């Protein structure tokens, strides 16, 4: 183990809902930092300009705070290595890329997109797995500068060895090796002048003094490129530790098709942050005593990174529910449970947003419970025979509802007005009357064929619960096969553009 002061980081990309995988990494980094008197840094990796949004960044910070993860440096709290948002550090990455150009470890590549596809195909045919631009690699610096100065578009690529093996060390896996010939000459700076994840990530980990990189297993294939960057800069690499991939109960990679993956969903559905953290802590780690219920402080007291086990941990919702139940039953009396409920949803602000929708339908005060219960639930039972749409089969309706889910995934503004606008556009483009389209949605969302106004109700329910209930309706209609989903996705992208 390294004897540098422990500094770890969690580095989410703000593209969409805060993901439970981010919470998982944050928890293990946090626990490790605290167990070694170290620091946790939160860094926002927003170099993907098309997909990053400030709303997503805000939601990530809020979700991690809700869980009780505390970071010592970050975009909101500042710190000695500010800024902690990569979009504000672009100049730094450009300077570093230039340093590599000057040292001859990187080169400009002027190949056009079309020519690149052809070249890649040719290299594949010759049995070459990675990709390199021979012309760029050999071009003189004068010629490269001249072409760049004349305004010709280019990317900057890292010069990867063409033979030999890259030997890497992972804290949990020991030595792993990979042939260099299988690895692309990685793009470091894109044609828009922005860095790729690889360059920005390595430069920041170094400049921010990161001692241990603890992240998801999906990044292990990028490790050769990262190690090569450390070498090219002459920097000491951190210790790398890739956490096991979280899995669905059928052992496939955790996906939102099979499990809710947004932290906000669990918050809205009434899970306690302590229980969710405890559940995440059990994924790949266990208390030496075997006790399954533990606080984060108890975890910190016992935690050793080497003890994380690699057998694919299963994100089992039944287990989470069981654990959450133990927290509710064992850790609360009536008063503290009431406070937990209040914190969650039973509070004046939320009731005052719901009641105006129920009021026109209330004859007695006691009607409020029946009329508004679905706002305070996770699942809302419905009669599957109510799920129908004029002239459509169950399969067609399932496909339509899936389209609605995808559309809502992209909907950042979840106000009634914005939702109404979106559904108008959806109904036009799908050539279905808005009234008809809303009927199965009433059933899926409220459990009834008629209820409080749809878009206002959706705005109160929030995006996570809305999408989850519609997904349950898709299942109730018989679900969609992987093949059907792929077809549907193509149609969707043709109609509405990429799903992002």
d(CA 144, CA 152): 10
Contact characters 427-446, ligand GLU, x per CB under 6 A: --------------------
Name the DSSP letter for residue 5: P
Strand, coil or helix: 320: helix
Cβ proximity to ligand GLU, 219 vs 322, nearer residue: 219
d(CA 140, CA 144): 6
Q: Work out how close the CB of 76 gets to ligand GLU at its nearest, in angstroms, rounded to a whole number.
A: 18
For residue 157, the surrounding DSSP H or E stretch is: strand 155-158
Q: What is the 3-state secondary structure (H, E, C) of 377-412?
A: CCCCCCCHHHCCCCCCCHHHHHHHHHHHHHHHHCCC
Cβ proximity to ligand GLU, 24 vs 382, nearer residue: 24
Query: Terminal CA-to-CA distance of the chain, rounded, Å?
Result: 39
Find, among 424, 418, 433, 427, the residue nearest to 463 by Cα: 418
By the rule CB under 6 A, 194 interacts with ligand GLU: no
Site for ligand GLU in 215-254 (CB under 6 A): 215, 219
Residue with tokens 């790398």: 240
Q: Work out how close the CB of 434 gets to ligand GLU at its nearest, in angstroms, rounded to a whole number.
A: 37
Site for ligand GLU in 288-347 (CB under 6 A): none
Cβ proximity to ligand GLU, 197 vs 265, nearer residue: 197
Q: Work out how close the CB of 378 gets to ligand GLU at its nearest, in angstroms, rounded to a whole number.
A: 27
Strands, E, within 165-324: which ranges? 165-170, 174-179, 187-189, 212-216, 239-243
Cβ proximity to ligand GLU, 29 vs 248, nearer residue: 29
Site for ligand GLU in 46-105 (CB under 6 A): none
Site for ligand GLU in 3-32 (CB under 6 A): 11-13
Residue with tokens 């029946």: 370
Contact characters 144-183, ligand GLU, x per CB under 6 A: ----------------------------------------
Q: Work out how close the CB of 87 gets to ligand GLU at its nearest, in angstroms, rounded to a whole number.
A: 13
- Pull the structure tokens for residue 27: 């928890």
Q: Work out how close the CB of 46 gets to ligand GLU at its nearest, in angstroms, rounded to a whole number.
A: 9
Q: Work out how close the CB of 175 gets to ligand GLU at its nearest, in angstroms, rounded to a whole number.
A: 20
By the rule CB under 6 A, 195 interacts with ligand GLU: no
Q: Is 256 one of the catalytic residues?
A: yes
**Residue of 225, 256, 392, 433 marked catalytic:** 256
Strand, coil or helix: 312: coil
Residue nearest to ligand GLU as judged by C-beta position: 215
Q: Work out how close the CB of 308 gets to ligand GLU at its nearest, in angstroms, rounded to a whole number.
A: 16
Contact characters 34-53, ligand GLU, x per CB under 6 A: -----------x--------
Find, among 372, 469, 457, 447, the residue nearest to 415 by Cα: 457
Strand, coil or helix: 485: helix
d(CA 474, CA 14): 28
From residue 192, alpha-carbon distances to 101, 148, 444 in Å are 17, 13, 44
By the rule CB under 6 A, 201 interacts with ligand GLU: yes
Cβ proximity to ligand GLU, 201 vs 262, nearer residue: 201
Handedness of CA 379, 380, 386, 390 (dihedral sign): negative
Q: What angle do CA 474, 477, 479 make, to 5 degrees?
A: 55
Q: Is the CB of residue 453 less than 8 Å from the CB of residue 461?
A: no
Cβ proximity to ligand GLU, 27 vs 466, nearer residue: 27
Phi/psi of residue 234, each to 5°? Answer: 75, 30
- Pull the structure tokens for residue 199: 């360059």
Q: Work out how close the CB of 278 gets to ligand GLU at its nearest, in angstroms, rounded to a whole number.
A: 23
- Counting residues that bind ligand GLU (by CB under 6 A) gives 8
Cβ proximity to ligand GLU, 198 vs 247, nearer residue: 198
Cβ proximity to ligand GLU, 213 vs 458, nearer residue: 213
From residue 99, alpha-carbon distances to 83, 94, 194, 232, 365 in Å are 21, 9, 16, 10, 72
Catalytic sites, residue numbers: 256
Interface contacts to ligand GLU, rule CB under 6 A: 11-13, 45, 197, 201, 215, 219
């Amino acid at each position: 183990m390294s004897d540098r002061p422990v500094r770890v980081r969690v580095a989410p990309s703000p593209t969409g809902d805060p993901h439970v995988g981010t919470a998982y990494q944050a928890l293990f980094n946090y626990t490790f930092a605290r167990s070694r008197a170290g620091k946790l840094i939160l860094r926002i990796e927003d170099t993907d300009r098309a997909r990053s949004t400030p709303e997503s960044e805000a939601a990530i910070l809020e979700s991690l705070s809700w869980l009780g993860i505390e970071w010592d440096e970050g975009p909101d709290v500042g710190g000695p290595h500010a800024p902690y948002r990569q979009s504000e550090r672009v100049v730094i990455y450009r300077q570093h890329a230039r340093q590599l150009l000057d040292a001859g470890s990187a080169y400009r590549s002027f190949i056009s997109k079309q020519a690149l596809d052809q070249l890649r195909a040719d290299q594949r045919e010759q049995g070459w797995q990675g990709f390199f631009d021979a012309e760029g690699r050999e071009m003189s610096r004068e010629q490269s500068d001249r072409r760049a100065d004349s305004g010709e578009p280019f990317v900057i690529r890292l010069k990867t060895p063409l033979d030999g093996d890259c030997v890497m060390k992972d804290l949990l896996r020991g030595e792993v090796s990979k042939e260099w010939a299988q690895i692309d000459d990685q793009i470091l700076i894109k044609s828009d002048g922005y860095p790729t994840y690889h360059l920005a990530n390595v430069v920041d980990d170094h400049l921010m003094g990161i001692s241990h990189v603890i992240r998801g297993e999906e990044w292990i294939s990028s490790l050769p490129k990262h190690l090569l960057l450390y070498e090219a800069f002459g920097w000491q690499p951190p210790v790398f530790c890739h956490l096991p991939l979280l899995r669905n109960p059928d052992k496939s990679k955790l996906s939102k098709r099979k499990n809710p993956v947004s932290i906000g969903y669990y918050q809205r559905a009434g899970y306690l942050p302590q229980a969710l953290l405890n559940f995440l802590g059990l994924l790949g780690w266990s208390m030496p005593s075997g006790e399954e219920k533990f606080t984060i402080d108890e975890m910190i007291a016992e935690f050793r990174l080497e003890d994380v086990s690699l057998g694919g941990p299963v994100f089992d919702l039944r287990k989470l529910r069981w654990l959450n139940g133990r927290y509710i039953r064992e850790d609360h009396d009536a008063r503290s449970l009431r406070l937990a409920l209040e914190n969650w949803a039973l509070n004046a602000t939320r009731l005052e947003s719901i009641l105006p929708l129920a009021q026109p339908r209330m004859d007695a005060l006691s009607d409020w419970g029946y009329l508004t219960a679905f706002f305070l639930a996770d699942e809302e039972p419905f009669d599957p025979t109510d799920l129908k749409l004029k002239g459509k089969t169950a399969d067609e309706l399932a496909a339509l509802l899936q389209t609605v889910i995808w559309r809502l995934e992209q909907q950042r503004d979840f106000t009634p007005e914005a939702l109404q606008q979106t559904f108008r556009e959806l109904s036009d483009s799908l050539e279905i009357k808005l009234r008809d389209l809303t009927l199965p949605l009433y059933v899926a969302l409220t459990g009834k064929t008629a209820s409080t106004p749809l878009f206002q109700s959706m705005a109160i329910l929030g995006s996570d619960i809305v999408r989850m209930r519609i997904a349950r309706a898709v299942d109730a209609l018989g679900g969609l096969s992987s093949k059907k989903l792929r077809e549907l996705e193509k149609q969707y992208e043709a109609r509405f553009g990429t799903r992002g």
